[in-house]
A = this chain, B = another copy of it.
Amino acid sequence: MSIRDTVFNARSKWMEGTGPECDVVISSRVRLARNISEYPFPHFMSEEQAEQVANAVRLAVSQKELTGVIGQLEFVDLSELTQTERQILMEKHLVSLQHIESIVHRAVVIAPDESISIMVNEEDHLRIQCLLPGLQMEETWGLADSIDDLLEQTLSYSFCEKRGYLTSCPTNVGTGLRASVMLHLPGLVMTKQVVKIVHAISQLGLAVRGYYGEGTEAYGNLFQVSNQVTMGQNEEEIIKNLQDVTKQVVSRERSTREGLLKDNRLFLENKVYRAYGTMKFARMMNSREALQLISDIRMGVEMGILEGLNYDKINELIILTRPAFLVKRAGRDLSEQERDSFRAEIIRQTLPDTKTN
């Protein structure tokens, strides 16, 4: 496996869909912001310093102490990738949009199964990210923590006894930790409970936003819940708080689904099967509609309405239908209409037949 496989492959570790509570929680993510004490923060670095940081990280991730525990990681300079490939890394949430806006001495370190990615010279020198399927906050945190410890054996982090880890942006100072879960909440959306839930969650020091979509819209009923503050709580508290709140949301989503199944089974079946029929036959589909229909089908699987489909295929479809991935697959630039047409084709080919009709 190499970065080339990564950007060609629509499957990632988090897509396996075998994690705990995978009927509601798609993935768990932990991100640590770290900086190397010898260098200014990225915004103030010279190009030469940026290059030195990148080289230091390259060395650090290849040390035996780390690879012996974590396995081989691949260090890739962003300038080695095409623009489309960089966009795919972003569509897979392995790097941020901000990270690929420049390629000067920026890099990404990726594990073959994509459960680990480290952005180099983004807003901070290092952004260590771990991503696992389902609700696995402690496991994900554990993985990030061990990588962090292993890197610290060769890198000297900017750290202050009083404030904790120092970061470019004050909102990350302290633990430098951002923990988040991606949730699929069709039941809460359909019953219009989402606004209330979002409000309640905000009261608990967590932020909720649509995973895809603009503003408050959440295309495909996908929501990201993450911690707001990085100071005043230690890592374990942040992780535990997110895990606990998520469990409550999971429970609410499940009971809502049960109620819907009991009272509106036909309505749900209609929604799910229409989505399936449209995906199996449409000749053009934009990215937003694809996310919505994928959500409807996922709900069908989650609620036992659709048979013969697995989470991994559905998760794969989310990545497969993203714009840059389609361009990569097509091997050339695509107009908007060509993209919508190719997206529909990929969906028809990928979506397995269902048993029931």
Does A352 belong to the interface (CB within 8 Å)?
no
Q: Which of A110-118, A170-178, A216-224, A277-285 contacts B (4 or more CB under 8 A)?
A: A277-285
Nearest-CB residue, chain B, relative to A268: B283
Which of A270, A277, A284, A337 is packed against the most chain B CB atoms within 10 Å?
A277
Contacting residues of chain A (283-313) with chain B, CB-CB under 8 angstroms: 283-284
Are A266 and B284 also in contact (CB < 8 A) when A348-B357, A357-B348 are? yes
Which residues from B are CB-within-8-Å of A274?
278, 281-283
Q: Tell me how many chains of this kind the complex includes.
A: 2
Contact at B273–A283, with CB atoms within 8 Å?
Answer: yes
Does A44 belong to the interface (CB within 8 Å)?
no
Interface residues as binary, A329-355 with B (CB distance below 8 Å gives 1, 0 otherwise): 000000001000100100010000000
Contacting residues of chain A (246-295) with chain B, CB-CB under 8 angstroms: 266-267, 269-270, 273-274, 276-284
Which of A266, A278, A283 is packed against the most chain B CB atoms within 10 Å?
A283
Bound complex: CA A282 to CA B284 (Å):
19
Are A273 and B266 also in contact (CB < 8 A) when A348-B357, A357-B348 are? no
Contact at B267–A273, with CB atoms within 8 Å?
Answer: no
Bound complex: CA A273 to CA B344 (Å):
11
Which residues from B are CB-within-8-Å of A273?
281-283
Contact at B348–A281, with CB atoms within 8 Å?
Answer: no
Which residues from B are CB-within-8-Å of A267?
284
Partner of A277, one of B269, B282, B284, B341: B282
CB distance from A140 to the nearest CB of B (A): 38
Nearest-CB residue, chain B, relative to A282: B274
Which residues from B are CB-within-8-Å of A269?
283
Interface residues of chain A, those whose CB is within 8 Å of chain B, are 266-267, 269-270, 273-274, 276-284, 337, 341, 344, 348, 357
Beyond A273-B282, A277-B280, 14 additional contacts (C-beta under 8 Å) are A266-B341, A267-B284, A270-B282, A270-B283, A270-B284, A273-B281, A273-B283, A276-B281, A277-B278, A277-B279, A277-B281, A280-B281, A280-B357, A348-B357
